[in-house]
Copies of this chain bind each other. A is one copy, B any other.
Amino acid sequence: MRAVTNGDLDDLARGAAILGTGGGGDPYIGRLLAASAVREHGPVPLVALDELPDEAVVLPVAMLGAPTVMVEKLPSAEQIGLAARSLAGYLGKELTHIACAEAGGVNSLVPAVAAAQLGLPLVDADGMGRAFPELQMVLPTLYGIRATPMAYADEKGNRGILDTVDNHWAERLVRSAAIDMGCSAAISTFAMSGAQARESMVPGTLSLCAELGKLVRETRSVRAVAERLRGRTLFTGKVIDVARRTVTGFARGEARLSGLDTDSGSELVLRFQNEHLVAARDGSTLASVPDLICVLHTETSEAVTTETLRFGQRVTVIAAPADPRWHTEAGIELAGPRYFGYDIDPVGVSA
């Protein structure tokens, strides 16, 4: 993939929503935003991570907030560009590349919107190889790269800059601002050099999203998706209950699935904070963060995001291994089950 064109957006969004592990936003909204930007500004050149010059100025952009809100209050193209331009102005640096902070139906597409607006190329990579709910949960944090100075902006024109003593403080302050802004804000954060990006980001994520999306479109096979991600199927069932609340700026809750086919008679519980964190079958944990837990429609293999989960859906849950750096001690501390309040060791897919 050498550019993001209008023809790529469907597959890109579809695949990104799978890697979003329930979060990262609705692919329909991501597609709408990117299609409009590409129509106006033309295709967005894509640059491989290993082609980045050391001295490149790379700026990841994303939407931050509760995806439950984002389906009603759509991000505006202006606020995405505003967040990027505000930070560029504050840094006093000429940006050379836009990047993707996390995979997800919205968050893999929003960087294309910013890149199109600013006339900059996009890096074929992301900051985690999946989606996670909190700002500091990106691999660059493990490499000591600072989230701030960062910028955030709403659709009304309000914007801010943060410069904090660590990445956890950045999360805390921007989360409150996003809540005030209506539980959704555009952010630009983790500005870094090309050398830093090559070291800390996950290469090829956008290409992988497009490939996964194409696979889904052509095969409609959950098994094919699981195999491409070197994962496995955890459970096939029907959604029988969703308890979901938008609190502390996140979509938090749990879903219960009643088993069908070979899983008949069993129950799977999914616990989520924007993203799926833990999957437990009849009380025993089958998979947990940092590994990927993805819920797909059994018939179509399209991803079901946590904000669109609802009673009666027939879904298949798969799990897939995260980037190995998430399985280091520091990675587990940053985004393992204990950080989210589950007193368990991480349950890996190959465990």
Contact = CB atoms under 8 A, between A and B. Distances in A.
Contact of A172 (B161, B165, B172, B180): B180
B180 A176 contact: yes
Interface in A159-186: 159-165, 169, 172-173, 176-177, 179-181
A143 interface: no
A78 B169 CA distance: 19
A321 to B, nearest CB: 35
A93 interface: no
A177 to B, nearest CB: 6
Contacts of A86: 163
Contact of A165 (B90, B156, B176): B156
**Best-surrounded residue of A161, A169, A179 (most CB of chain B within 10 A):** A161
A76 interface: no
Number of copies: 2
A248 to B, nearest CB: 12
A157 interface: yes
Interface size class of A (residues with CB under 8 A): 20 to 34
A158 interface: yes
B173 A158 contact: yes
A160 B180 CA distance: 15
A173 B160 contact: yes
B180 A179 contact: no
A350 to B, nearest CB: 40
Contact of A160 (B158, B161, B165, B181): B161
A253 B105 CA distance: 46
Interface in A253-302: none
Contacts of A176: 176-177, 179-180
**Best-surrounded residue of A156, A160, A162, A176 (most CB of chain B within 10 A):** A160
Contacts of A158: 162-165, 169, 173
A161 B86 CA distance: 11
Contacts of A179: 176
Given A158-B163, A158-B165, A160-B162, 14 more contacts: A156-B165, A157-B164, A157-B165, A158-B164, A158-B169, A158-B173, A160-B160, A160-B161, A160-B173, A161-B161, A172-B180, A173-B177, A173-B180, A177-B177
Q: What are the 5 A-B residue pairs with the smallest beta carbon separation, nearest first?
A: A176-B176, A161-B161, A158-B164, A157-B165, A160-B162
8 contacts: A90-B90, A158-B164, A158-B173, A160-B162, A160-B163, A160-B173, A161-B161, A172-B180
